[in-house]
Amino acid sequence: MSNPLPGDRIFNVLFLCTHNSARSVIAESILNRTAGDKFRAFSAGSHPRGQIHPYAIDLLKNLSYDVSGLRSKSWDEFAGADAPRMDFVFTVCDDAAKEVCPMWPGQPMTAHWGVPDPSTAEGKDAEKRLAFANSYRMLQRRIDVFISLPVKSLARLALQKEIEEIGRMVDAPEKAS
């Protein structure tokens, strides 16, 4: 049986998406606000767009998140020797899950938590914004389950199984009325 993660400290979590412009930034924001006393979240992309999608910013602002420190950045920032050591790395888009990721120092636990890309939503403005709200809701639900796990006491293999199961959660998106 493998050992649990070491105890009294804040665990670092990296959310990855190809462009780091919506889903990964939303997940970073949710985890930092919801469980900032236990987890410190970051986000990055393999091919960052260089800016956060305006609908993602609007959504987070409307939900009273501080967006002042958010930026679209490369995952290379987290692969260097001076980068924070990650305990968990979650891909939130299918493209990033298929890419060859850098070798993360410390061998963090990884899982794929795929969420549909809201930036590709078509239709009227309300339908596009609903796609961002659906992504938020799916990520919030998964993060709520993740932060409820007894991370400090679960054996590493059991914890790995649990975080992979979170990625298989089925979320039905809300429909525009």
Predicted pLDDT of residue 104: 73
Instruction: Quickly tell me which residue has 């299918």 as its tokens.
Output: 94
Predicted pLDDT of residue 33: 97
% the chain with pLDDT above 70: 86
What is the per-residue pLDDT across 19-54, written as a single tens digit (0 to 9) for each? 999 999 999 999 999 998 999 999 999 899 999 999
The residue among 25, 19, 27, 26 whose CA lies nearest residue 74 is: 19
How far is residue 62's CA from residue 127's CA, in Å, rounded to a whole number? 17
Instruction: Quickly tell me which residue has 């525009």 as its tokens.
Output: 176
Angle between helices 156-167 and 125-148 (to 10 degrees): 160
CATH number at 11-166: 3.40.50.2300
What is the per-residue pLDDT across 135-174, written as a single tens digit (0 to 9) for each? 999 999 999 999 999 988 888 889 999 999 999 887 756 6
Q: Is the pLDDT of residue 100 over 70?
A: no
% the chain with pLDDT above 90: 68
Domain boundaries, the chain: 11-166
pLDDT tier at 58 (50, 70, 90 boundaries)? very high
Average pLDDT of the chain, as a whole number: 88
How far is residue 129's CA from residue 54's CA, in Å, rounded to a whole number? 10
The CA-atom distances, in angstroms, between 7 and each of 3, 38, 46, 81, 145 are 11, 10, 31, 23, 19
- Per-residue pLDDT, averaged over 101-129, amounts to 88
Categorise residue 46: left if φ over 0, alpha if ψ from -120 to 50, beta otherwise: alpha
Query: What is the SS3 assignment for 54?
Result: helix
The residue among 65, 38, 67 whose CA lies nearest residue 53 is: 67
Predicted pLDDT of residue 174: 64
